Amino acid sequence: MPDSQLYFAYSALLDPIRMANVAPDAEFLFSAHYAETGLVFVNANGNGAVPSLVESPGSTVWGGVFEISSADIDSLVEQEAAEGRQPGWEHRAIDRAGNKHECLTFVCDSGESSRPTPEYVETMIRGARHWKLPAGWVVGLEDLVEDPLFG
């Protein structure tokens, strides 16, 4: 087993405090995106809506790429599973320079489309701002919270 793995975070684990609680040795490396990928919220485990990825032509999902030590992988997998996500996205993350990276990425196998709580999305926004993800991505997340039909 390698000493570490690259992990693509796009959920509430973007928040540095939350990430530190789950994977204390995690190191942010760079922002990246999945092209032709959309962000959806699904109720995958009966505990409320969580984000997942789906193939979506013309769409992009931004996140942070972290180096996760082998000592923190089990904790990360446990946290992701608690939200209903399993490892399994087969695409490669693309950094701002256009380089492609194999990353451990978690998605929901299934689940009914649902609206997340504003608090959950605000955690994602905090992380996206902290890691300086593209402003358009952050504004899109903010629009979710400000939508009067949200929640």
d(CA 100, CA 97): 9
| 138 touches 128 (CB < 8 A) | yes
Give pTM, 2 decimals: 0.93
Give the residue extent of every domain in the chain.
Answer: 4-142
| pLDDT tens profile 54-86 | 999 999 999 999 999 999 999 999 999 999 999
Burial, 43: exposed, middle or buried (Cβ in 10 Å; 0-12, 13-18, 19+)? Answer: middle
pLDDT in tens, 107-143: 998 878 888 899 999 999 999 999 999 999 999 999 9
Contact 143, 149 (CB under 8 A): no
Whole-angstrom CA distances from 130 to 30, 60, 118, 134 are: 12, 19, 18, 11
| CATH number for domain 4-142, candidates 3.40.50.12240, 3.10.490.10, 3.30.1490.100, 3.40.50.300 | 3.10.490.10
